[in-house]
Amino acid sequence: AQSVTQLGSHVSVSEGALVLLRCNYSSSVPPYLFWYVQYPNQGLQLLLKYTTGATLVKGINGFEAEFKKSETSFHLTKPSAHMSDAAEYFCAVSAVTGNEKLTFGTGTRLTIIP
Amino acid sequence: DGGITQSPKYLFRKEGQNVTLSCEQNLNHDAMYWYRQDPGQGLRLIYYSQIVNDFQKGDIAEGYSVSREKKESFPLTVTSAQKNPTAFYLCASSISRGRYEQYFGPGTRLTVT
């Protein structure tokens, strides 16, 4: 079985401040992990992904995430928030259970305070 | 431009009517997916197809049906049996079965009154 927990359904940060969005996963096998961003009334866009190898993954728009097996976490960070980062962010996990489905977290809405 | 198109963007129907949502991709992807998104619930998988003429139920398939007659197309029908059909519907595709990232269309917002 696989599952994803995103801590904090709403996160607010000031423009220029650090962005930290939390994601913890459960998987019985080594997971593949993904972060997606969704702007209002649009589809999801892939920010970054972890499959194997280097545990620090860099993505688009200055975001990065670190896979920590011991903590079963894959938190998303950005050093300096920009107004355009306001959106909803989804963490997802894929584990080899015979059907390779993606399981999504419930999302974190990021608000940027000017 | 390669991508996934969903039409229409907004759809309104009366209760008791079936409605079909369109999803087309020109990415040459084998696998396609339908998700339903409700506020605060994330994305829930309705149906997926890993190859033409084959599809599997996801986590919330009741009241929905699909077909996959062509590689490029994966239409979703919301039937009158779906108890609460008003939602945002997202179509996605991935290169093949396996643990690949999924690419999403822009979504269709269905309102049933």
- Is A107 in CB contact (< 8 Å) with chain B? yes
Sign, Cα dihedral of B4, B7, B11, B13: negative
Q: Sorting pLDDT into bands at 50, 70 and 90, what band is A101?
A: confident
Q: What is the pLDDT of residues B3-59, one digit of tens each?
A: 999 999 999 999 999 999 999 999 999 999 999 999 878 899 999 999 999 999 999
Higher pLDDT, A62 or A27: A62
The pLDDT of residue B1 is above 70: no
Residue type, A50: Y
DSSP 8-state secondary structure symbol assigned to residue B99: S
Q: What is the pLDDT of residue A1?
A: 75
Contacts of the segment A97-102: beta carbons below 8 A, 24+ positions apart: A97/A1, A97/A2, A97/A28, A97/A29, A99/B56, A100/B97, A100/B98, A100/B99, A101/B45, A101/B48, A101/B58, A102/A34, A102/B45, A102/B102
* Residues on chain B touching A44 (C-beta within 8 angstroms): 43, 90, 92, 104
The pLDDT of residue A98 is above 60: no
Bridging pattern class, strands A56-58 and B103-104: unpaired
Give the helix/strand (H/E) hosting A60.
none
* Residues on chain B touching A42 (C-beta within 8 angstroms): 106-107
**Residue contact B107–A49, C-beta within 8 A:** no
